[in-house]
Amino acid sequence: MRDPKLPKPPPATARRGAPTLAEKLRRHSPWLLLLWFALSVYLFLSAAPPAASPLRPTFLPRPRALSATTTSKPTTRPPVRIYLYDLPSRFNRDWAAADPRCARHLFAAEVALHEALLSYPSARADRPEDADLFFVPVYVSCNFSTLNGFPSLSHARGLLADAVDIVRRDMPYCNRSAGADHVFVASHDFGACFHPMEDVAIADGIPEFLKRSILLQTFGVHGPHVCQEAEHVVIPPHVPPEVAHELPEPEKAQRDIFAFFRGKMEVHPKNISGHFYGKKVRTELLQRYGRNSKFYLKRKRYNDYRSEMARSIFCLCPLGWAPWSPRLVESVLLGCIPVIIADNIRLPFPSVLRWPDISLQVAEKDIASLETVLDHVMATNLTVIQKNLWDPVKRKVLVFNRPLEEGDATWQVLRELEVLLDRSQRRSYVGSLRM
């Protein structure tokens, strides 16, 4: 029905020429009002803050962070913010004070990471409400060996269980997430399985109270393994940062040793523990190349062994009890090409460090061909690998500096944690949608 308030349109026979603008507006005014109303609603909703979704995970707050694959300018803001628990000194400081080795040996990443975060305020969240993650500083490696040299980890599970009990009792954040946003360091042969023999480590497994948490561990292999059945980041073994500076720069070193190894090489492969050390790999190295003048293989300890590495072109990094070895990091810092002889090993920080560009990997079954492989590299792409290896940026990636420096090992740990955090949030979000 026509609105009686509007003027009666003239008869069609009386119209002449094109309709005027006023006539067009009068004709389409209902549609214009409807369009104006829809536009107003759209602008109002766009300006309003989004409503909280019951499906969005809330236990991990996420401020803006640097992506692990970003190519933007470097920033001094770390990728994630971590709240450090202030545990009683018997969990950390007392151990470090009792033995200076605690902060320097191959398992000392637990100390280095804690001290690096303490000395870099930008990496820490002062209030737990502002944290992405929570770091639980427990030093279980300080008493890392007995008088006979065998690792001593029997106290690890009890010490960590006590720390977790305190955190659960005194702080609500662990209970809120069931520990999923809590970070522990397990810098041992087989990570949080806490035993140097793989069969025993597998039988013991990861303590139940750690299985929902995030573990920073030197142990990592491709494929499933009982000792990595938890969220984890593979980190480098600890080497004191000054190693990178105590000898001449790699490109200036005189390299008169073809292939170097100094360490445990058993004449009789089955040792006192009843296990075959390093799957007999080191024994075979000694048997095949011990009399070869191109190979510098030594079984006895020598405090200045790093000076020998700095003189070497290739540094052999065979597996021991576990696949990884501190020789890996020492070789990189001293400019000696690491020759990794450990099947299935996962190496730290592959997203920022292309290991095939700076190292060689030789299968355990191919030890008989080792000399041929090294001769081939010498004749083809040695210069390219050395140029990549001697890049100071690449060498910095594996060093736990104190205080933290952008691009160093602690920084890379934070980047890896961000990736884990984002993946965890996506998984939680998708899981909630399926409920």
Q: Are 250 and 214 in contact (CB under 8 A)?
A: no
Q: Are 258 and 374 in contact (CB under 8 A)?
A: yes
DSSP letters, 355-424, are: HHHH-EE--GGGGGGHHHHHHHHHHTTHHHHHHHHT-HHHHHTT---SS--TTSHHHHHHHHHHHHHHHH
Task: Classify domain 241-396 at the CATH topology level.
Answer: Rossmann fold (3.40.50)
Top pLDDT among 265 and 331 is at 331
pTM: 0.79
Cα Rg of the chain, angstroms: 31
Amino acid letter at 148?
N
- Going from N- to C-terminal start, the domains of the chain cover 82-238+402-434, 241-396
| The pLDDT value given to residue 413 | 96
Mean per-residue pLDDT, 405-420 = 93
Q: In this predicted structure, which of 45-54, 89-98, 317-326 has the lowest mean pLDDT?
A: 45-54
Top pLDDT among 331 and 174 is at 331
Q: Which residues contact 94 (CB under 8 A, 6 or more apart)?
A: none
Phi, psi for 333 (deg, rounded to 5): -65, -30
Top pLDDT among 9 and 168 is at 168
Top pLDDT among 270 and 238 is at 238
- Mean pLDDT of all residues belonging to the chain: 82
Secondary structure tally for the chain: helices H, strands E: 14, 10
